[in-house]
Structure 1
Amino acid sequence: MLLANYLFFTSQCEQALAFYTTCGLGRITVLMRHGSHGVPLACEAMRGKVLHARFEGPGILFFASDNHDAEQMRGSAHMLILQDRDETRSLFGALAEAGKVTTPLADQPWGSYYGKLTDQFGVQWMLDCVNRE
């Protein structure tokens, strides 16, 4: 069994996945578009938008799509567990670009170097580095 998250965007899925690629999280391994593969369009505005995508990298797997009726993202976050503080700082900075840091990276009472942010696409990320340095 594997738990994988599925992100629903209204129209920025492809831009979000490209951003995550530039952050170094991985790459798109499957991309299907609305209006192809014989799937009926929910509305014409969705034509060419992402119907289904798979995103993979080392230790990363999630899915995403554009949906005309997608709700604003809330109540869930991607949690990345890392081993290196420098990598954690770098990735946190990249994901925070044009987003909002809600918990700055810092040593936490439970022993981790941790921070939380909402990226420019409304996706929440929690980075937890277990290396106490």
Structure 2
Amino acid sequence: MEIQPYLFFNGRCEEAIAFYRSALDAQELMKLRMKDAPPNPARPVPPEHADKIMHATLVVGSTHVLMSDGDCGEGGNTVHAGFSLSVTVDDRAAGEKYFNALADGGQVMMPFQQTFWTSGFGMLTDRFGVPWMVNVRDQQAAPK
């Protein structure tokens, strides 16, 4: 079994894909636009949404992150509540790199810093309203 996050970006998915490709070295696996779907008379796609993203898959490390523009409502940020995406890396330099890239245009909730369990951990909400935790997988600071 796998659990994969599926994020909705309310019309900003194309921008989010570009951001995560840069910030997380993500690879775009596939992308389907609204206009690629077979016509559905019961639910026609408005012409202004034809190029919006119905479904996309990014590969971040070994994880598939699924994404969509959703119904493209009013634009702006979708509310992402009740969860946080967690990035775990093997060294502090990588942790700082990803934390700073994700924080660009977002809001830092807890600066990236040493804690009692690791040499680096921080929390932020990115420019799309997605909450993140970045954690270094080490035992350097773990209590004995």
Q: Does 1:68 align with 2:71?
A: yes
Unaligned 5+ runs, structure 2: none
* Matched length: 132
Per-residue deviation, residues 66-122 of structure 1 (Å, max 9, x unmatched): 01267522222110111100010011111111111001112223x122101111111
TM-score (norm 1): 0.89
TM-score normalised according to structure 2 size: 0.83
Give, as a single letter, the amino acid of the residue that structure 2 aligns with 1:101: V
3-state DSSP of counterpart to 1:92 = helix
CA–CA distance in 1 between the matches of 2:107 and 2:16?
A: 15
Large movers: runs of 4+ above 6 Å: none
Q: Percent identity?
A: 27
Structure number with larger C-alpha Rg: 2
- Quote the residue 1:27 is aligned against: 27
> Which residue does 1:124 correspond to in 2?
131
Q: Counterpart of 1:78?
A: 85
- Aligned CA distance change for structure 1 residues 7 and 21 (closer, same or farther; 3 Å): same
